[in-house]
Amino acid sequence: MAALLIPFGYPGYPETEMFRHIEDSKKFLSSIGIKFVSTNSIITLSHCPEAVEIAKGDNWDYVIVLIATWIEAPHVCNVLSAADLENKPMFLWSHDNVYDENEKATISFGPIAAAGVMRETFEEMGYRFRFAVSNPFEPALAKQIKAFDRAARTIAKLKRSRLGLFDYTSMGMYTGLADHIKVKRLLGAEIVHVNQYAVLNGLAGVDRSLIEETKAVLRKEFSIAPDIEEELLDKTASIYQRLQELKTEHVLDALTVKCQYEMSIDFGFSPCVALSVLGAELPVSCEGDIYLLLSQMILHSMSGETTTYGDVLGFLEDGVICAACGFAPKCFMAPERPCISKHTAICTGLMYTSSFKTQDVTVIRLANLKDGFKMHVIHGRTEELKDFHEIGCPQYAGSIIRFQNKDVEAFKQEIMSQHYAIVPGNLLEELECFCALSGIKVI
């Protein structure tokens, strides 16, 4: 999908300069990697029908409304309405004044005056938009538009996404429950509910050659504890391959599996390692936590990076201890060959026991808020986790996360559950834009 650029101007301004400003804007967008299609420039009412026909030609991810000079506000609203674009995310971009070297003076083409009208008009019309005033090729504008592009495309991806929910509530975690209709209505994501029986009943039919292939990968990429029997590796590989089959069958973009207690105790095998291997390919988590999986899907769609999650297990002066009981995609872990060990308390099965590597990360959680949603948005830095474990358990895969933009005491008072999604990098600006466009309250 592409963005739609709609440039607006006004008759009476020097056409050569006006159209040069519009063409410079297009060159600028291309130079920073924005994929877009432009309508014709709308200068008078007579130009609107052609723009509407172009705008109707695709299901655009978002719209850039460009104000190059003074414009007539009704032209903008008429095109957006006639082309059915009013519910799309919009970037309202006004050019700034320009300095003329020949005249030694700052020259106005009237865009800022028009922008004052349009910004308030967009707000009163209820449009979802971000506003910027800048001329093309300004670094600050490039940063704003790229952040908006990521946020708006994430909104579009969510509307096309299918999230697999294998069974549901685990251990009475109210915070993992979500209203599926509300999620569909406000975010667009489809929650595909599949019974856990589909996983377990299909294990016997997994192709033996695929099991052996998966085991070979595990032996090559991980340090496997000497007390791990072949049967446990067989179960891990079988679960991984069965989830692959179900992912394809149900066309899933992400999935979460309820492990406690049916798999971890009744079946006798926790799927931590199988899920971790699968997590390198798509957002994956466990314990049926819908809000966690949505958080991971948002981070993955926005960054293109692998996501993980951790339980908040301790508060520090400037951060938290964050670790899951055996789950993490390999790319997060510090050793070249991370350790696979046995679960030793409550659960049975295999788990990862290596610390995360040191890197900048973004940590978020989406949560319910009356008629909408709220989100914790944190920038942090991971550090090696040493000499920490739950009683009776090996060390979990995880890390210390030092907060860069959040007071720990405030976080304690706002904590939205134990599960938080994690992705490499700093996505604060993109997430703030995403939340503004989606009506989500940033905490």
pLDDT at 72: 96
Mean pLDDT confidence for 208-217: 98
Rounded CA separation 260/270 (Å): 8
* Single pTM value for the model: 0.96
Rounded CA separation 348/2 (Å): 48
Q: What percent of the chain has pLDDT over 90?
A: 94
Whether residue 166 has pLDDT greater than 90:
yes
pLDDT at 108: 92
pLDDT at 311: 97
Mean pLDDT confidence for 43-63: 97
pLDDT at 347: 82
Pick from 123, 29, 21, 129: nearest CA to 67: 21
Whether residue 103 has pLDDT greater than 90:
no
Rounded CA separation 357/16 (Å): 55
Give the chain's domains with CATH numbers: 3-159 (3.40.50.10940), 162-442 (3.40.275.10)
Q: How many residues does the chain have?
A: 443
Q: Residue 346: which pLDDT band, with cuts at 50, 70 and 90? A: confident
Mean pLDDT confidence for 341-361: 93
Pick from 119, 109, 108: nearest CA to 73: 119
Question: Residue 417 region, left (φ>0) first, then alpha (ψ -120 to 50), else beta?
Answer: left
CB atoms within 10 A of CB 299: 29
pLDDT at 99: 87
Q: Which amino acid is at 213?
A: E
Whether residue 102 has pLDDT greater than 90:
no
pLDDT at 435: 98
Predicted confidence (pLDDT) per residue in 11-43, tens digit: 999 999 999 999 999 999 999 999 999 999 999
Question: In the structure encoding, which two tokens stand for residue 37, read together?
Answer: 């299609």
> In DSSP terms, which residues pair with 366 in a beta bridge?
375
pLDDT at 379: 98
Question: In the structure encoding, which two tokens stand for residue 323, read together?
Answer: 């670790």
Rounded CA separation 364/11 (Å): 48
pLDDT at 84: 97
Whether residue 345 has pLDDT greater than 90:
no
Q: Residue 228: which pLDDT band, with cuts at 50, 70 and 90? A: very high
- Which of 9-13, 55-59, 342-346 has the weakest average pLDDT? 342-346
pLDDT at 100: 85
pLDDT at 213: 98
pLDDT at 21: 95
Mean pLDDT confidence for 52-61: 96
Predicted confidence (pLDDT) per residue in 298-339, tens digit: 999 999 999 999 999 999 999 999 999 999 999 999 999 999
The 3-class SS string of the chain reads: CCEEEEEECCCCCCHHHHHHHHHHHHHHHHHCCCCEEECCCECCHHHHHHHHHHHCCCCCCCEEEEECCCCCHHHHHHHHHHCCCCCCCEEEEECCCEEECCCCEEECCCHHHHHHHHHHHHHHHCCCEEEEECCCCCHHHHHHHHHHHHHHHHHHHHHCCEEEEECCCCCCCHHHCCCHHHHHHHCCCEEEEECCHHHHHCHHHCCHHHHHHHHHHHHHHCEECCCCCHHHHHHHHHHHHHHHHHHHHCCCCEEEECCCCHHHHHHCCECHHHHHHHCCCCCEEECCCHHHHHHHHHHHHHHCCCCEEEEEEEECCCEEEEEECCCCCHHHECCCCCEEEECCCCCCEEEECCEECCCEEEEEEEEEECCEEEEEEEEEEEECCCCCCCCCCCCCEEEEEEECCCCHHHHHHHCCCCEEEEEECCCHHHHHHHHHHHCCEEC
Q: Is the peptide bond before 261 cis (omega within 30 degrees of 0)?
A: yes
Mean pLDDT confidence for 1-14: 94
Predicted confidence (pLDDT) per residue in 403-417, tens digit: 999 999 999 999 999
pLDDT at 44: 97
Q: Residue 440: which pLDDT band, with cuts at 50, 70 and 90? A: very high
Predicted confidence (pLDDT) per residue in 250-304, tens digit: 999 999 999 988 899 889 999 999 999 999 999 999 999 999 999 999 999 999 9
pLDDT mean across residues, the chain: 96
